[in-house]
Amino acid sequence: MLKNFPDRAQLAADLERSATAFSYTELEYYWLMSAALSDPA
C-alpha cells in the first residue's frame, strides 16, 4: 500500500492563496487539517 498524501508544507503551499488560519495535526495513521476560507473578492 502506498501513502500518497500531501505533507503539512505541501498543504500550506496549496492553500495559501485561498485560506487562512491553517491548522494541521498529524496522527499515527492520519492527519487532520482545518482552515478558514478567504473571501474571493
In a structure prediction context, what are the per-residue pLDDT tens digits for the chain, which is 41 residues long?
556 778 899 988 998 889 988 899 988 888 899 999 988 76
The pLDDT assigned to 34 comes to: 92
pLDDT attached to residue 24: 92
Is 35 within 8 Å of 20 (Cβ atoms)? yes
For 31, left (φ over 0), alpha (ψ -120 to 50), or beta?
A: beta
Q: What is the pLDDT of residue 25?
A: 93
For 17, how many CA atoms within 13 A lie in the half-sphere containing its CB? Answer: 1
> How much is the pLDDT for 23?
92
Q: Torsions phi, psi of 10, nearest 5?
A: -70, -40
Residue 9 has a pLDDT of: 92
Residue 39's pLDDT is 80
